[in-house]
């Protein structure tokens, strides 16, 4: 996701230097497998405009890797912008 966001932001002339993604997996049983991934995207203080935030959010929503995961895998993504 960070790569896709980086490509989008470079195309639109702003950066996400210092962005961090924290990923947590949640296991479930029967059969034992990963049932959920929780992705917490944290962006540095950069006074992102509303347009820039929309570009970031659009890139997250259209991430080809996320769209390639099995539909039974719950994906929870949060985005935070440091103030």
pLDDT surpassing 90 at residue 82: no
Per-chain mean pLDDT for the chain: 95
| Domains with residue ranges and CATH for the chain | 2-81 (3.30.300.20)
Is pLDDT above 90 for 45? no
Distance CA 72, CA 26 (A): 13
pLDDT above 80: residue 83: no
- Tens-place pLDDT, residues 10-42: 999 999 999 999 999 999 999 999 999 999 999
Please report which confidence band the pLDDT of residue 65 belongs to, taking 50, 70 and 90 as the band edges: very high
Residue at token pair 């029967």 = 30
């Amino acid at each position: 996701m960070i790569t896709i966001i980086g490509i989008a932001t470079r195309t639109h002339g702003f950066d996400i230097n210092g962005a961090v993604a924290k990923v947590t997996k949640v296991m479930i049983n029967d059969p034992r497998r990963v049932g959920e991934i929780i992705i917490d995207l944290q962006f540095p203080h950069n006074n992102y405009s509303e347009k820039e935030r929309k570009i970031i959010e659009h890139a997250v929503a259209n991430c080809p890797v996320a769209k390639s995961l099995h539909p039974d895998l719950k994906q929870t993504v949060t985005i935070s912008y440091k103030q």
